[in-house]
Amino acid sequence: MKRIISPSAKAGNLKELLVGFRFVDVKDNYPVSETVYRLSLRGLNVSERAIMEAVDKYPNVQTLDVGMTRVTGVAVKQFVEMGVRHLILDECAHISPDAIDYARGKGLQVDYNFPSRTKVTTFRESARGAF
């Protein structure tokens, strides 16, 4: 992937990068770019630290989608400090309401929907419905 997008990054033409739902090492497979303003890491199954390291590669990102990842308030604080203006945290199970309030209090537009929970049916409950 790096081989494909590196020429655009080097030429300053890379504006949006949508990486989500891949099983790759973002740190090593994507080039650094100061021109990316929109970055999506949605659904990446990597650690919070890996997400934070990936975002560091794009210092001028304005819109950041890290929905469905393992980020916490630690990452939210870093994103606020680096100047992100729009933060998408949909379905992030490890985000506290305090982190959301902190980001909004700093002027960020924050999109956040609580993680969906699927109801687990026990054997006893399923047996009752079968008869």
Domains of the chain: 2-130 (3.80.10.10)
For the chain, what's the residue count? 131
How far does Cα 79 stand from its chain's mean position?
Answer: 10
- pLDDT tens digits along 101-131: 999 999 999 999 877 655 545 555 545 554 4
Burial (CB count within 10 angstroms: exposed 0-12, middle 13-18, buried 19+), residue 14: buried
Task: Please report which confidence band the pLDDT of residue 69 belongs to, taking 50, 70 and 90 as the band edges.
Answer: very high
Q: What pLDDT score does 49 carry?
A: 93
- Does the predicted model carry a pTM greater than 0.85? no
What tokens appear for 79 in the block?
């994103």
- pLDDT tens digits along 54-67: 999 999 999 999 99
